[in-house]
Amino acid sequence: MIKKIRNFDLKSIVDSGQCFRMKMTDEDHAVNIAMGKVLEIRHIGSDTFEFDCSEEEFNDIWSSYYDLETDYDSFIRSIKEEDTFLKNAASASSGIRILRQDPFEMLISFIISQRKSIPAIRSSVEKLCRLCGNEIRDGIYSFPEPKSLSQLSDVDLASCSLGYRAGYVREAALSVYRGDLNMEKLATLSDEDLFEALVSVRGVGKKVANCVMLFGFHRINAFPVDVWMQRVADEHYGGRFPVESYEGYAGVMQQYMFFYRRGR
DNA sequence: ACTCAGGTATCCT
DNA sequence: AGGATACCTGAG
């Protein structure tokens, strides 16, 4: 599948920190393991990309997964002229999209993410997948189902370098497996109710809840504040970014600023 | 050897 | 409400 797409940059997405199983294998070649599948994407010309999948699979899964129907230009155009930092941030990271990833995978991945570097998160997630994901291709494993994850032994869980997060991961997986925490039901909640439901999970605080909302439930108004965003707020916005100015899609702006600030 | 990493739970005032 | 502290582990 060859597609012409504006505001889409593989490396920016890989480095954006929203997904942990997509990587660059080459300057313009990315591989992603998601949705129980393996997808290769090649950047083959200006705004032109080759997706290694059928048209049906592209339309059914990846077009939505990479949020390709959304007009990111209009987000960028809406940035206030006087907000030079955000202007610069957006133009430096205009290839980022807010992916529509699996809610359960996001919940577990971001529970793991606390006090970890991105390489360490990737490594832990990878170990988990090898341990109890399904082998989709030779040596490539899907993200685990709630059932298999919740049934992992202590020794196996510990072998994924989860540290004190191991208990959080098991509890969360168990809640989902048992149905106490139902991802389909959560998806129907308002932003406020979804946030409350997420922070009630042990190991999920404000920051992780917002990440799960933004990257797992595509609530693009969710605005995770981590150390990097706090730095941005302190350096440019007197300690707090005015999320009200971008009501409804502040999370997109968060990604621009996070990526921009971390890259420099 | 030492700090810090996309924080959170718990305890304290 | 808001501040201080412990917590597993790996990367730089």
The owner of tokens 């685990």 is: A144
Beta-strand relationship, A2-4 and A37-45: unpaired
Instruction: Say if residue A187's pLDDT is above 90.
Output: yes
Cα–Cα distance, A48 to A87 (Å, whole number):
25
Both structure tokens of A13 = 């997405």
Length of chain A: 264
At residue A160's C-alpha, the angle toward residues A159 and A161, to 5°, is 90
Give A51's strand partners.
A41
Q: Which residues touch strand C (CB under 7 A)?
A: A 115-117, 119-120, 123, 158, 161-165
Query: B11 C1' – A244 CA distance, angstroms?
Result: 34
Task: Name the residue among A33, A101, A30, A41 with its Cα closest to residue A65.
Answer: A101
Q: Is A207 a catalytic residue?
A: yes
pLDDT digits (tens, 9 = 90+) for A76-110: 999 999 999 999 999 999 999 999 999 999 999 99
Q: Which nucleotide is closest to the Cα of A123 by its C1'?
A: C10
Q: Which residues of A129-166 are buried (b: 16+ CB within 10 A; e: fewer)?
A: bebbbeeeeeebbbbbbbeebbebeeeebeebbbeebb
Q: A99-110 b/e with 16+ CB inside 10 Å = b?
A: bbbbbbbbbbbb
Over residues A50-61, the pLDDT tens digits come to: 999 999 999 999
Nearest nucleic acid nucleotide to A165, CA to C1' distance = C8
pLDDT tens for A202-256 read 999 999 999 999 999 999 999 999 999 999 999 999 999 999 999 999 999 999 9
Distance A233 CA to B11 C1' (A): 29
Q: Give the pLDDT confidence score for residue A264 in this predicted structure.
A: 82
pTM beyond 0.75: the answer is: yes
Q: How far is the CA of A230 from the C1' of C4 (A)?
A: 19
Measure the CA–CA gap between A90 and A33, rounded to whole angstroms.
Answer: 27
Structure confidence at residue A123 as a pLDDT band (50, 70, 90) = very high
So what's the pLDDT on residue A244? 95
Tell me what the mean pLDDT of segment A194-200 comes to: 97
Measured to protein CB atoms, the chain C nucleotides within 7 Å are 7-12
Over residues A177-199, the mean pLDDT reads: 97
Give the pLDDT confidence score for residue A105 in this predicted structure: 98
Q: How confident is the model at residue A140 (pLDDT cuts 50, 70, 90)?
A: very high
Give the mean pLDDT of A6-31.
Answer: 96
Output the pLDDT for position A194.
97
pLDDT of amino acid A110:
97
Mean pLDDT over each residue of chain A, to the nearest integer: 96
pLDDT, mean of residues A42-49:
97
In chain A, the domains with their CATH numbers are 2-93 (3.30.310.260), 103-190+198-204 (1.10.340.30)
Q: Does residue A260 carry a pLDDT above 90?
A: yes
